[in-house]
Structure 1
């Protein structure tokens, strides 16, 4: 039987917030460490580049924003990246040097229209150094909507690799049943789920996805402390009364029958490494295949709009 094994690494860490140089440095170091242990697919958390601003209010209340919050947002904007761009090229060179696939959560700065909007994005980089695709979070959660715009169906990305199909959704997108079904229909084998949710209930979510999609689930969260927050942030006082540990992590890897391949890691920085046997995916679908023999297209159908949604479209004039 042909071997379909892949060694996966899940990085649980955090950069200095709003500092893309810090994030790029940590990505370089931790990718090299994981590759030295044989990892072929290396996954970083949600918006690792340049960080998830947990606890910051950006000077916002319902009906008003203040000048200090706008300063912090501009700092976030300045440290976001463009796709394609310099940072993506650097990650491509790293992936090619080490011969690995990289999946990295980034803050993406729009370059097509306003150039002011940011997106919560996953990028997929191949071992030949090419950008294989990206996914923009469809619905930022709660106050995240002040920071990031909404993605569209054009970035429901799944990539082909020698060991299987890889794709995923970001954090609470994974609570959207129709979004999950759209991903399952793409034949996903390894489902990445970068998150900022460190609660116990998140573990129930990723184990359910594994059982439902009959796929491996690779979930990745940041381990962040106050030490990763620059004290010169205009809104630094927002976190002064918080605990020292701002995000405890909880990264984990789950098999296609819902069992842990790597148990959740809490309250420390680290890298989870596991070898996945992709033969387990078709074995698990013997009795349940959500888009195959366990679907009922005569009863249920899902229509997915994967067209890019442009705010401005050039159309031919109706005037002669």
Structure 2
């Protein structure tokens, strides 16, 4: 494929909910399927591995000292990934084998923060199978704050991929102007937004980011249905009491640098959605507007970003 073309796949799939091993198998299967189509970048939705914390809203998650909440959180923690222990090694190996870059939404137990709190992390694995960034969601949204910890700026990074420069944010971070600008300023021209799954979220912001940045904008969401809850889920009966039949309907989509749809939000369909992007369109749209280039005034407004990885304890030997 030409250097200015990039074949991307949006993996709009359901997790094996709160089952790390089962979800990893689905992720690896998706990568293998994408490789058959010569995909060069595959993207998975927010917190897909091992799943979004739907129970918090459905089971009175704010009740203090609740046995139900404690046991579900512990189950979630046991199925979160620990990158330092090699939980993503097989995914990295597949990326290397197929020369495919991967953005993977994960729940991470961060070792440098003690190894117990959970972070909503977007992991970028390059086509050599190497993890190049782990972006921990800066601000969990509403009920998410009852189970996820706030992250830091360390993962606000972009990555070269052929002629493209890719960057990514989690869910409502995409509504935060300054994190977006931090990526634009590093040369981002392919923006990846990952979501737990809903066209309610993707239908407006995907096109807005594309038009604001004059970049390709990809919104990738998961699918989640009642039948996707494993029967061995703790307190499943309580979760299902108020659960709708469809918790996440997908809505994965792509907008071009002019802000118009290339692929409109795809609903209630599980599988890979594949498209080839032409980098030349970025240059065409930057001719009349470039938010961090000729249409910026850094002498008047400028952003400062702290990318230090935050940790509670620093040891000096």
Whether TM exceeds 0.5 here: the answer is yes
Aligned counterparts of 1:57 and 1:161: Cα–Cα separation in 2? 38
1:115 alignment partner in structure 2: 115
Moved more, 300-309 or 135-144: 300-309
Cα-to-partner distance string for 1:31-86 (whole Å, 9 max, x where unaligned): 11111112110001111111112244486554613112111111111111112332
8 Å CA contact 1:256, 1:280 repeated in 2: yes
Aligned counterparts of 2:130 and 2:3: Cα–Cα separation in 1? 26
2:279 alignment partner in structure 1: 278
Cα-to-partner distance string for 1:72-110 (whole Å, 9 max, x where unaligned): 111111111112332221111111111111111111111
1:255 alignment partner in structure 2: 256
Helix, strand or coil: the match of 2:233?
A: coil
Moved more, 92-101 or 200-209: 200-209
8 Å CA contact 2:6, 2:162 repeated in 1: no
Cα RMSD (Å): 1.8
Aligned counterparts of 1:244 and 1:63: Cα–Cα separation in 2? 25
2:91 alignment partner in structure 1: 91
How do residues 182-193 of structure 1 correspond to structure 2 at under 5 angstroms?
Answer: 182-193=182-193
Helix, strand or coil: the match of 2:265?
A: strand
Aligned counterparts of 1:18 and 1:200: Cα–Cα separation in 2? 24
Cα-to-partner distance string for 1:199-225 (whole Å, 9 max, x where unaligned): 435311110001111111111111111
8 Å CA contact 1:10, 1:251 repeated in 2: yes
8 Å CA contact 2:136, 2:150 repeated in 1: yes
1:239 and 2:240 aligned: yes
Structure 1 runs (4+) greater than 4 angstroms displaced: 57-63
* Displacement after TM superposition at 1:3 (Å): 4.3
Moved more, 115-124 or 233-242: 233-242
Cα-to-partner distance string for 1:168-199 (whole Å, 9 max, x where unaligned): 11100011111111111110021110012514
Aligned counterparts of 1:101 and 1:245: Cα–Cα separation in 2? 30
* Displacement after TM superposition at 1:308 (Å): 2.2
Say how many residue pairs are matched.
Answer: 315
Aligned counterparts of 1:200 and 1:145: Cα–Cα separation in 2? 21
Moved more, 139-148 or 161-170: 161-170
1:101 alignment partner in structure 2: 101
| TM-score (normalised: structure 2) | 0.94
1:19 and 2:10 aligned: no
Aligned counterparts of 1:199 and 1:161: Cα–Cα separation in 2? 27
Distance change in 2, residues 1:95/1:197 (3 Å): closer
Can you give the 5+ residue segments of structure 2 that lack an aligned partner in the other structure? Answer: none
1:227 alignment partner in structure 2: 227
Flag the structure with higher helix content: 2
1:296 and 2:297 aligned: yes
